[in-house]
Amino acid sequence: MEDILLKIAYCIEFGKVDKTSPYPPDMKDKDGASELTKQALDMGIKPEIILNNALIVGMDKVGQKFAEKKIFIPQMLMSAKAMNAAIEHLKPFFNSGEIRRKGKFIIATVQGDLHDIGKNLVKMAIEGAGWEVIDLGIDVKSDKIIEVLSQNPEAKVGLSALLTTTMQNMRDTVKVIKDKFPDSTVLIGGAPVNEEFRKQIGADFYSPDPQGAVAYLNKIAS
């Protein structure tokens, strides 16, 4: 059992989606995250064990490498594809409640900002850590976030901005959220954003990389 879990984690770490994936070269024509996850389920390994001991392990390694600048966005995106391929086999168990999520996380790029690579990387890392992610996309008005947060009052919120010109929209969005839901938890990120800005606008957490966001969410969920 341990062997196949290690293989799944390796596939996610190095972006081996399935048998047809050419990357990484040392795994050419070998089963990838998709096939191995299905095999693990067929072997009778519990879905929660696959999530915790394979998927999350692989994503932790990816996140750590990214934070240390040992890998970059293309490698992260490959790992995202591998993780998503594995998650597809686990979705029925999420839906049935057999696998319990750590919590819900609403993520959005703020109004006026059309960039989504950073948001998508954070989404991937947090989903891979066992959270249910509600992705509202790009150019999201605060009203939409409030609407979804009203439907999921226990959810944490993540906001992204890549432009200095949309930082004001992030400030306004945080204010709207905190006015409506004073006890809500709001995380922020993006190239022009920093810890000082977080303090100015009243957000709860800032991280320059996805791994920091994952660590913070896991800490407050425990």
Question: Would you say 110 and 173 are in contact if contact means Cβ atoms under 8 Å apart?
Answer: yes
pLDDT (0 to 100) of residue 128 = 83
Same domain, 33 and 139: no
pLDDT (0 to 100) of residue 96 = 86
Highest mean pLDDT among 75-79, 129-133, 196-200: 196-200
User: Residue 63: which of 46, 42, 80 has the closest Cα?
Assistant: 80
Same domain, 33 and 124: no
Same domain, 123 and 174: yes
pLDDT (0 to 100) of residue 8 = 97
Same domain, 74 and 133: no
Hey, what amino acid is at 197?
Answer: F
> What is the extent of the structural domain holding 17?
2-96
Here the tokens at position 44 are 């009778």
CA–CA distance, 79 with 8 (Å, rounded to integer)? 11
Longest pairwise C-alpha distance within the chain? 54
CA–CA distance, 56 with 60 (Å, rounded to integer)? 6
- The full length of the chain comes to 222
First to last CA, the chain: 27
Residue 134's contacts (CB-CB under 8 Å, 6 or more residues apart) are: 104, 105, 106, 107, 148, 152, 155
pTM, two decimal places: 0.85
To 10 degrees, what angle do helices 33-42 and 2-14 make?
160
Q: What is the CA radius of gyration of the chain?
A: 18
Digit-coded pLDDT (tens) for 98-117 = 888 899 999 999 999 999 98
Q: Kindly report the CATH number assigned to the domain that includes residue 34.
A: 1.10.1240.10
Q: Which uninterrupted H or E stretch holds 50? A: helix 47-50
Last residue of a domain, one of 46, 67, 96: 96
Same domain, 212 and 110: yes
Same domain, 62 and 145: no
Last residue of a domain, one of 33, 64, 96: 96
Same domain, 175 and 201: yes
DSSP label of 110: B
Same domain, 195 and 156: yes
Last residue of a domain, one of 96, 123, 147: 96
Same domain, 112 and 216: yes
Residue 95 pLDDT grade (very low, low, confident, very high; cuts 50, 70, 90): confident
Q: Do you find a cis peptide bond into 192, omega within 30 degrees of 0?
A: no
CA–CA distance, 94 with 110 (Å, rounded to integer)? 29
Rounded to 5 degrees, φ, ψ at 115 are: -90, 140
Report the number of distinct structural domains present in the chain. 2
Sign of CA dihedral 10, 22, 87, 38: negative
Same domain, 143 and 187: yes
Same domain, 118 and 150: yes
pLDDT (0 to 100) of residue 124 = 86
Same domain, 108 and 206: yes
CA–CA distance, 199 with 210 (Å, rounded to integer)? 19
